Amino acid sequence: MRKTVIILMVFLLSVNFVKADYKLGYKLYKQGKIKQALQQFQSDAEKYSYWYFPSYMAAMCYFKLKDYKSSLEMLRMAENAAMKSDKKVVELPTVKVLEARVLAASGKCRDAIKLCSKYIPQSPAEFQAMFYYVKGKCENKLKNSSKAVIDLKNSTGINPKNPSAWFELGMAYIHNNNLDGAIKSFTKSMQLFPKSKATYYLLTDALINKARRVRDANTKKKYYLQAVDVANKGLKYFTGDKKLNLNLANAYLGAKQYSTAISLFSQLYKKYPNDTYVIFGLGSAYMGNKDYKKALPYLLKVKGRMNNTLIYNFVATAQLAIGKKENNLSKCKVALNTVKEGLKKFPNNKNLKKELKEVKDIIAKFEKNLEIEKKNKQIEQENKRKLANRIMTLKGRIRKAEEIKRKSGQYPASYESDKKELEKALKTYEKLYGQFRQ
């Protein structure tokens, strides 16, 4: 849109009847000295009341200053002059395009749409493109996204080189839940005007959301890596931008390049240690890397701040993994409490219900194994006691046999078998429990 207006300005400045004093206002306008330019254009408008352009430029200055009422007043003067001009076919739609923009900016979107609809059929093609653009932008503001798509497709069809129209079409597609259309439109806008921060934001958002929706792993990765590419392009112009760096980290996370994601989130965490999305992203990256001990502190830090189910899933998964690794039932039960807490807030969530069943199953197995282990220990202690008693019995019988030998000169018949059995019992005890101590 801005590019088209500038082209018109250059064209109008080239006509033979441009006055020398008028050029001063234009020079001031180009320098960004809007108030000084306005004074000059108002002076010119009084001198050249037959010519629409000074009052048109005064209206443009008021528009820049957000004085919409004064802008519309100057446009009435410009319109009166344009209606009497032999160049009416160009001058009148020029005035009306700006009027539509002023109406839209002042919140009178329905009036702007009505004006655009009136002048589209009677205007040259390049102006039709601008009217469709303003009309589509207003439809977007009024949340009539389907109508906006139609208008903006008409605008880009007539003038495919207006980055603002492609951007607005991307917005309409977003509102219409058409990510493919949004990605295509934002990409076109970025190519035509690669210095729009908002375009990089929305395009990377759209690519990441598209990746999250598709099921095929290769397609999912493709969209995430496209988001990486777009974010990196944006960071060439907007180095250090928080939103672009966050989207870049999330894109690497989605592409399962966890080490890179951890590095990026860690850098962001140093700058923004209290940002919920940065902290959650870092915890999620560690989760992806299966480093649950590092993930858990970050996830717990934002659990109370996030009103979604994913945080409860992640925290419970990390707690359960740590509990299983450490063979710690109490830590597994903490995971169970986390899932129950999540289900209080989101009672119908399928993922949390699934997690609840998994945690309960693991705890049940854990408790069963502990019960088996307890029984095995009891059996082992009983066997140890029995073996110790047998050893003591055998030692007692051997001592008694040795007494008999001293008195009668002859060992009892069981002496040798008792010695062999004692030797065997001691070896068994030592192997199982260590050295036998009376």
Q: What are 244's two structure tokens?
A: 């672009």
pLDDT of residue 358 exceeding 90: no
Is residue 8 over pLDDT 50? no
Q: d(Cα 227, Cα 18) in Å, to the nearest integer?
A: 49
Instruction: Please state, for a pLDDT cut of 70, what percent of the chain lies above it.
Output: 95
Q: Which residue from 3, 8, 2 is spatially nearest to 90, judged by alpha carbons? A: 8
Give the pLDDT of residue 1: 43
Q: How far apart are CA 329 and CA 365, in angstroms?
A: 10
pLDDT of residue 22: 65
| Span between the terminal Cα atoms of the chain, in Å | 99
What are φ and ψ of residue 413, in 5° steps? -65, -25
Q: Does position 20 have pLDDT exceeding 70, yes or no?
A: no
Specify the pLDDT at position 4.
44
* Composition of the chain by helix, strand, coil, percent to 5: 80, 0, 20
pLDDT in tens, 204-255: 999 999 999 999 999 999 999 999 999 999 999 999 999 999 999 999 999 9
Residue 357 burial class via C-beta count within 10 angstroms: exposed 0-12, middle 13-18, buried 19 and up:
exposed
Q: Which helix (H) or strand (E) holds 142?
A: none
Q: Determine the Cα–Cα distance for residues 338 and 69; give it in Å rounded to an integer.
A: 58
Count of residues in the chain? 438
CATH superfamily to which 1-106 belongs = Tetratricopeptide repeat domain (1.25.40.10)
Distance CA 17, CA 239 (A): 46
Q: What is the DSSP letter of 40?
A: H
What confidence tier does 272 reach under pLDDT thresholds 50, 70, 90? very high
Q: What is the dihedral of CA 424, 427, 431, 437, to 10 degrees?
A: 120
Average pLDDT over residues 359-382: 81
Contacts of 253 (CB under 8 A, 6+ apart): 261, 265, 281, 284, 285, 288
- Residues contacting residue 373 through CB under 8 Å, at least 6 positions apart: none
Range 148-156 average pLDDT: 98
- 131-140, 248-257, 392-401: range with lowest mean pLDDT: 392-401
> Domain locations in the chain?
1-106, 307-318+337-438
Q: Which of 103-112, 276-285, 425-434 has the lowest mean pLDDT?
A: 425-434
Q: Give the C-alpha separation, 281 to 261, whole Å.
A: 8
pLDDT of residue 375: 83
Whether residue 19 has pLDDT greater than 90: no
Instruction: Say what the pLDDT of residue 370 is.
Output: 66
Mean pLDDT, all residues of the chain: 91
> What per-residue confidence (pLDDT) applies to 221?
97
Q: Report d(CA 23, CA 12) in Å as an integer.
A: 11
Residue 18's pLDDT is 45
